[in-house]
Amino acid sequence: MRITRLLAVVFSAAILLPVPATAASAAPIGSYVALGDSYTSGPFVPVQRLDPLGCGRSTANYPSVLAAALRAGRFTDVSCAGADTTNMTRPQGVPFNGTNPPQLGALRIDTDLVTLGIGGNDYGVFSSLTSTCPGLRASDPTGNPCERHFDGSVTSAIDNIGPRVEAVLAAIHERAPRARVLLVGYPRIAPDKGYCPDVLPFADGDYAWLNSVEEALNRTLADAADADGKAEFVDTFGPSRGHDACARGGSAWINGKDQNVFEAAAYHPLKTGMAGIAAVVLKALR
């Protein structure tokens, strides 16, 4: 899917999303910087950039699609798979002997727009779920073995992510004082109804728990933006309803358990998901 076709998807989606009558058009963007983890960078979403290859940074991730839609004069994407809040100020080692510099180093005093997608890797929240839950399904296919396994530790970890994100937001404002800052949440992985164990191999009862974990993480991010007082939280969980990993007919925004090096990493956004997220962020900018 070429960038022109992706833009068509973005604008079509933006038309379908309700926009208040008072909403103004997005102001011209002179300089846009994208920060974040793999849900921002887009590992395996074609075409992958090489700077460095280990970051899994796609030319069709939502920042790239957004930058094209906004006709940003200068676009800098330093998002990187595996990043957590500490990698905003520290270098990150990545596969193939690469290093991604501290992401906040991309900010300038004249930066106009910053998008930030971070938090899911802190305390190993997402990696713990995707590495542990599928293996527990066989022990209790209709129950909630993963929820019982973690016994509240995941939500406790999420509670500690908020202050880290608040610190990142404060540092962004310090380095780019005139920038509009959007903190982008995580889209829905599991459906609100039904199951698809061939795609998302969690136990049936753990689907609702997975949704509750994502809701807690997004709520923590929203609270961090509120506490910051300047940044704006962009909800992608609500708008991605019906576009979860179980969605059929090409409407899924999220890949399932199968890693596809020509499409998307397991449990990560597909190209269609990146276009959908870009539409949600574009609406927030109006």
Average pLDDT over residues 156-180: 98
Residue 27 has a pLDDT of 58
Mind listing the pLDDT tens digit for each residue in 120-139? 999 999 999 999 999 999 99
Residue 8 has a pLDDT of 41
Q: Residue 115: helix, strand or coil by DSSP?
A: strand
Cis peptide bond N-terminal to 52, omega within 30: yes
Q: Is residue 13's pLDDT more than 50?
A: no
Mind listing the pLDDT tens digit for each residue in 175-225? 999 999 999 999 999 999 999 999 999 999 999 999 999 999 999 999 999
Q: Is residue 97's pLDDT more than 80?
A: yes
Rounded to whole angstroms, how far apart are CA atoms 193 and 203? 13
Type of residue found at 46: P
Name the average pLDDT for the chain.
Answer: 92
Rounded to whole angstroms, how far apart are CA atoms 185 and 222? 8
CB 207 within 8 Å of CB 193: no
Rounded to whole angstroms, how far apart are CA atoms 94 and 153? 27
Average pLDDT over residues 260-271: 97
Q: How far is CA 161 from CA 35, 120, 193, in A?
A: 17, 9, 28
What 4-10 contacts at long range (C-beta under 8 Å, 24+ apart), as own/partner pairs, is 6/60, 6/65, 6/68, 6/271, 6/274, 6/275, 6/278, 7/65, 7/68, 7/69, 9/272, 9/275, 9/276, 9/279, 10/65, 10/66, 10/69, 10/275, 10/278, 10/279, 10/282
Tally of residues, the chain: 286
Q: Is residue 5's pLDDT more than 80?
A: no
Residue 212 has a pLDDT of 97
Average pLDDT over residues 23-34: 73
44: left (phi over 0), alpha (psi -120 to 50) or beta: left
Q: Is residue 10's pLDDT more than 90?
A: no
Residue 286 has a pLDDT of 86
Average pLDDT over residues 264-282: 98
11 vs 38, residue with greater confidence? 38
Residue 222 has a pLDDT of 98
Q: Residue 254: helix, strand or coil by DSSP?
A: strand
Q: Is residue 16's pLDDT more than 70?
A: no
Average pLDDT over residues 64-76: 97
Residue 236 has a pLDDT of 98
Q: Is residue 242's pLDDT more than 80?
A: yes
Average pLDDT over residues 63-72: 97
Average pLDDT over residues 104-118: 98
Residue 184 has a pLDDT of 98
What residues form DSSP beta bridges with 232? 182
